[in-house]
Amino acid sequence: MFLWANGNNRMNDVERRSELRRFLKDRRARISPADVGLAAIGRRRVRGLRREEVAGLAGIGVSWYTAFESGDAEGVSEATVLAVADALRLSESERRYLLTLTGRAPIVEELSEPSPLLKETMLALTVPAYIITASWDVLCCNEAFRRVWGIGESEMPFNAIERLFLAPQARTLHGEHFVANIRPVVAMLRSAVGRRPGLQNLQSLRDTLLAEREIRDLWDAYEISDPLAPNRCTIESHIGTFSYEALTLANPGETSGLVVQIPDEVSRRRLAQAMTKPA
């Protein structure tokens, strides 16, 4: 069986292998023979590609791929994992997810205290910015972020999902944009839970989100994104409609970083005007 990175315990190994099986079967089911230039011959009992078709596309044996999809293969190489990723036409985020599930990519430990340089950089920005972990705990933020989201200094630190998407006072800011705004967050959380199945805070976040039907539908779509990936958002803040793209200054796979909300021109002017007034 796979030896997972960073000393995860046996229960986590079982959970990770289970996620590997689920992920590969789901992605195989999403591809039709025509998508990869294969003829659909005979009656097909499964949706998408058969295991032997994936094996042929990846250039590996059928028995080996079957074991791989079952999570029982040993000595899997990164090149072979990437060949399977190519056969399944995975996105870059999905490829990194597969590498992590197979133990071929390291899991970086979460940042517990931001460096002075990172914190000073955040404070110097005139647009909303904050430092966050892959568990969505906001460690600190600047004044622009507080103004847009209506966050008091006494509320630090806080969990971004619980505070910015689920807390009643913040939920109203999303209005009709709620589903669009939280869709990329759900994809990021799905990825984080799969990468770190033993983290109880991630499990708790997932359970909290899944209490809502509209979020469960997004979860069931099984979209995967890198933790802390760039995303777009539109909210109805007290300064007016605020539209931005959130960018994370961190390398792919890292579990914490500086998130900067870059507003569109209209939102930038509204924010600049609001910042001249007392908080």
For 148-163, the pLDDT digits (tens) are 999 988 888 999 999 9
- Count Cα atoms within 13 angstroms, Cβ side, for 200: 0
Is the confidence at residue 85, as pLDDT, over 60? Answer: yes
pLDDT of residue 40: 67
The rounded distance, in Å, linking the Cα atoms of 149 and 239 is 10
Long-range contacts (CB closer than 8 Å, 24 or more residues apart) made by 56-60 = 57/86, 57/87, 58/83, 58/84, 58/86, 58/87, 59/83, 60/84
Percent of the chain with pLDDT over 70: 89
Q: What is the pLDDT of residues 23-41, one digit of tens each?
A: 999 999 999 888 888 776 6
pLDDT of residue 108: 59
Is the confidence at residue 168, as pLDDT, over 60? Answer: yes
The three-class DSSP label of residue 129 is strand
110: phi > 0 → left, psi -120 to 50 → alpha, else beta; which? beta
pLDDT of residue 24: 95
pLDDT of residue 74: 66
pLDDT top residue among 52 and 73 = 52
pLDDT of residue 229: 83
Is the confidence at residue 82, as pLDDT, over 70? Answer: yes
pLDDT of residue 16: 84
- The DSSP bridge partners found for residue 161 are none
Q: Which CATH architecture has domain 5-101?
A: Orthogonal Bundle (1.10)
∠ CA 60-66-72, nearest 5°, is 105
Record: fold of 116-275: Beta-Lactamase (3.30.450)
**Residue ranges of the domains in the chain?**
5-101, 116-275
CB atoms under 10 Å from CB of 97, counted, come to: 27
| Contact predicate 40/31, CB 8 Å | no
- The DSSP bridge partners found for residue 248 are 259
Q: The whole model's pTM is what?
A: 0.84
Is the confidence at residue 128, as pLDDT, over 60? Answer: yes
In DSSP notation, 48-86 reads S--HHHHHHHHTS-HHHHHHHHTT---S--HHHHHHHHH
pLDDT of residue 256: 66
Report DSSP state, residue 252: T
Sign of the CA dihedral with 246 first, then 248, 249, and 252 last: negative
Poorest-pLDDT segment among 4-13, 185-194, 235-244, 262-271: 4-13
pLDDT of residue 106: 66
In DSSP notation, 158-209 reads EEHHIIIIISHHHHHHHGGGHHHHHHHHHHHHHHHHHH-TT-HHHHHHHHHH
